[in-house]
Structure 1
């Protein structure tokens, strides 16, 4: 992959704002860029946690595998987010799994190189620390949803987060392209596919949303903020 292309991706990464041109060029040389396709595994649990990943295009699902082999989805990441941050928190191995939900572009850098870069760029260091704190709170909120909310509430809460994270404002609402399959939403909310279908159809009947395989559109912005 051309170095110029990789540099362009990194320069457009919001978390790296504040890094001067020379530092950005140096950082670009330290990173590796890779394209993945849907269902590719970026890393598994118990693999060495020694790399930081920057998601530029696509979606990544972060999941935890329980002792009995079940997979519990913890987060859905979009462009501009980092993952593998456990390495910065002292984790020797990954405690979760990262999987591409669609075609993705990911830049990666070793923990050691990234920590050296952070020492030279305090503004970026602060941004990364804030982001990690936000990520931890986001995952905690998702876990609380799984424990305290019923299936319909979990699905609606996920759809709202999905629209806010990935949606683009339009004249008549907020739209995300493409939409997830029903079984993917079921996995992300620990519900049944049939329940997801029923909740989506109810929201359509109520005039709150519309959707196809190609997009998810929130028509009722007041519902989005409830």
Structure 2
């Protein structure tokens, strides 16, 4: 794929807003681009070199390679693999799996570091992404201490729909990309508890779902 196509694909990333066209074009010259099929494991390590990924299309889940538990979800317009910039050992224990057909651009972490050192706005942007991920993990630990399983599941599903969904008439609708096991991992509960809570929430008309979509009434949006 040519440099101009890559440039067009990366224009939607807030990280690059302050880089300028010339720097963006130079960056695109060293980027690789790939189409990833749903269900495919995305190799974060290639030829002994970690990569940073820019997700243009689709959704990806990041899992802990030691136990296959889901750590977090990445939506289009965001990056993943950035952990290799800050903690190589922890990064080696992560895997990425495409939850739907995806398009990604990627760059070796060493080259990304070089570009970040020259452009502080990019460095600060990536650091902010990393910081937000850490905060989400800290929040999950706090929730585990102070919230019961029903509350954790309900809040996770609501937040997921708000983040990944779109408004349609009177509801916010998101693709149902996560299994009950995934949700259990992300809320520190069991798959059976997730099934029970979701059934109860649907019975009370707080959420609705089927095999393809999840939704909440628009008035639940804050």
TM-score by length of 1: 0.84
Question: Is 1:88–2:76 an aligned residue pair?
Answer: no
Q: CA 1:220–1:198 in structure 2 vs 1: closer, same or farther (change >3 Å)?
A: farther
The answer to which of 17-26 and 192-201 deviates more is 192-201
* CA–CA separation in structure 2 for the residues paired with 1:44 and 1:142: 25
Q: Is 2:69–2:182's contact at 8 Å kept on the other side of the alignment? A: no
Q: Which residue of 1 aligns with 2:6?
A: 6
Q: Does the 8 Å contact 1:51/1:109 carry over to 2?
A: yes
Spell out the pairing of 1:26-105 with structure 2 (5 A cutoff). Answer: 26-43=26-43, 48=48, 50-66=50-66, 70-91=67-88, 94-105=92-103
Correspondences of 1:170-181 after superposition (within 5 Å): 170-181=168-179
Q: Deviations over 1:161-186 (max 9, x none)?
A: 21122112334131113443434433
Secondary structure of 1:71's aligned partner: coil
> Matches of 1:181 and 1:145 in 2, distance apart?
21
Say yes or no: does 1:154 pair with 2:157: no
Q: Which piece of structure 1 moves more, 53-62 or 20-29?
A: 53-62
SS at match of 1:174: strand
Aligned runs of 1:131-210 on 2, under 5 Å?
A: 131-146=129-144, 148-210=146-208
- Between the two proteins, the alignment pairs up a number of residues equal to 220
CA contact (8 A) 1:52 1:110 kept: yes
Q: Where do 5+ consecutive residues of structure 2 fail to align?
A: none
Matched with 2:113 is 115
Please identify, of 20-29 and 71-80, the stretch whose mean Cα deviation from structure 2 is larger.
71-80
Relative distance call for 1:126 and 1:110 in structure 2 (3 A) is same
1:180 to 1:74, Cα distance in 2 relative to 1, 3 A: closer
Aligned residue for 2:136, secondary structure, equals: helix
Summarize deviations over 1:50-88 as a string: whole Å, max 9, x none: 21111111111112244xxx3322111111221111221
The alignment partner of 2:69 has SS state of: strand
| TM-score, length-scaled by structure 2 | 0.85
Q: What is the aligned-residue RMSD (CA, Å)? A: 2.5
Deviation at 1:110, TM superposition (A): 0.9
